[in-house]
């Protein structure tokens, strides 16, 4: 376990989708860095079990909240319980999400397709809004959003998932210049060994699989670093690299 550094002393993080996979690995890495953590997830047993597991080596530093952060009520609940437990909030890892509905066909359930899109986007939007009043005056305020490889390339096996992850990149790149007191970044991992792995995955796919800890390291670096508006692609065996944003001189955004 790493000792608390002056940079992380007193920092508090909320990690959504924190009971498993990338979220759980991020919560663990933040605790190792000396950050106090609240993990939010929709499953009561899983959230509490993960908090208990992490708390065994970090007593008094981690708690769990059961909340659907894609809703206004759930997002506010997660943020409020973080404040109640730890006194303030500095860092957000917005990681909650769900698979899409697979290949779109004439038989696709439109309600399910809509739900997959809404859940993945609003699981970022709702907690960001709920946390905004608490983050705006914190000197180390930072947000990292989990997008995906599916947010930067075509994903014929699950177009709704790809649409939602593309949307998150646009959201991050738009939030960063609009909220200068809060650093807002994103990660786009390739395949990761999480409970969602395998959904829509072609048989015999050639891509190597990342461990959740590989992604968590990059998330923590973003949260504790200096970058703003950064979107990083992460794949096994290579250093994270920025996802290029087109620069069109005739379409520069107006100053805020």
Tell me if 150 sits within 8 A of 98, measured CB to CB.
Answer: no
| Higher pLDDT, residue 100 or 126 | 126
Contacts for 91 with CB less than 8 Å, ≥ 6 apart: 11, 12, 13, 14, 30, 35, 140, 141, 142, 143, 223
Predicted local confidence at residue 247, as pLDDT: 77
Are 190 and 207 in contact by the 8 Å Cβ rule? The answer is: yes
> Which pLDDT tens digit goes with each residue over 4-33?
666 788 999 999 999 999 999 999 999 999
Structure token pair of residue 94: 């917005």
Residue in the structure block whose two tokens are 């709702």: 126
- Residue 231, phi then psi, degrees to nearest 5: -120, 115
Q: Which whole number is the average pLDDT over 176-200?
A: 84
DSSP string spanning 5-24? PTTTTT-EEEEETTTSHHHH
Res 196 pLDDT > 80: no
| Beta carbons within 8 Å of 26's beta carbon, 6+ residues apart | 15, 18, 93, 95, 215, 216, 219, 220
Active site residues: 161
Using a pLDDT cut of 70, give the percent of the chain over it: 89
pLDDT tens digits, one per residue of 28-83: 999 999 999 999 999 899 999 999 999 999 999 999 999 999 999 999 999 999 99
Judged against a pLDDT cut of 50, whether residue 87 lies above it is answered with yes
Helix axes 159-178, 110-135, angle to 10 degrees: 20
Task: With cut-offs at 50, 70 and 90, classify the pLDDT of residue 200.
Answer: very low
Instruction: Give the confidence band of 199 by pLDDT, cuts at 50, 70, 90.
Output: very low
Reported as a single tens digit per residue, the pLDDT across 139-170 is 999 999 999 999 999 999 999 999 999 999 99
pTM listed for this prediction: 0.91
H-run or E-run covering 224: helix 212-224
> What pLDDT shows up at residue 1?
42
Q: Which two tokens stand for residue 249?
A: 């001189």
Q: How high is the pLDDT of residue 63?
A: 98
Distance CA 191, CA 169 (A): 18
Q: In percent, how much of the chain has pLDDT > 90?
A: 80
Q: What is the DSSP letter of 59?
A: T
Instruction: Give the chain's mean pLDDT.
Output: 91
Give the Cα separation of 87 and 51 in Å (integer): 18
pLDDT for res 99: 86
């Amino acid at each position: 376990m790493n000792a608390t550094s002056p940079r992380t002393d007193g920092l508090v993080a909320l990690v959504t989708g924190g009971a498993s996979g990338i979220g759980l690995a991020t919560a663990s890495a933040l605790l190792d860095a000396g950050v106090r953590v609240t993990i939010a997830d929709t499953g009561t047993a899983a959230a509490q079990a993960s908090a208990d597991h992490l708390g065994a080596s970090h007593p008094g530093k981690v708690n769990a909240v059961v909340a659907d952060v894609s809703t206004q009520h759930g997002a506010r609940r997660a943020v409020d319980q973080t404040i109640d437990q730890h006194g303030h909030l500095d860092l957000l890892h917005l990681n909650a999400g769900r698979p899409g509905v697979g290949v779109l066909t004439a038989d696709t359930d439109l309600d399910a397709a809509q739900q997959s899109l809404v859940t993945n986007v609003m699981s970022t939007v709702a907690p960001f809004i709920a946390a905004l009043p608490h983050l705006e005056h914190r000197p180390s305020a930072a947000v990292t959003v989990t997008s995906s490889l599916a947010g930067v390339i075509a994903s014929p096996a699950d177009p709704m998932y790809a649409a939602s992850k593309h949307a998150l990149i646009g959201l991050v790149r738009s939030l960063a210049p609009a909220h200068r007191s809060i650093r807002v970044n994103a990660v786009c991992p390739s395949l990761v060994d999480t409970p969602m792995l395998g959904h829509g995955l072609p048989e015999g796919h050639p891509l190597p699989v990342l461990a959740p800890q590989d992604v968590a390291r990059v998330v923590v670096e973003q949260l504790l670093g200096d970058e703003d508006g950064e979107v990083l692609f992460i794949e096994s065996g290579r250093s994270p690299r920025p996802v290029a944003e087109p620069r069109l001189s005739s379409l520069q955004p107006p100053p805020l």
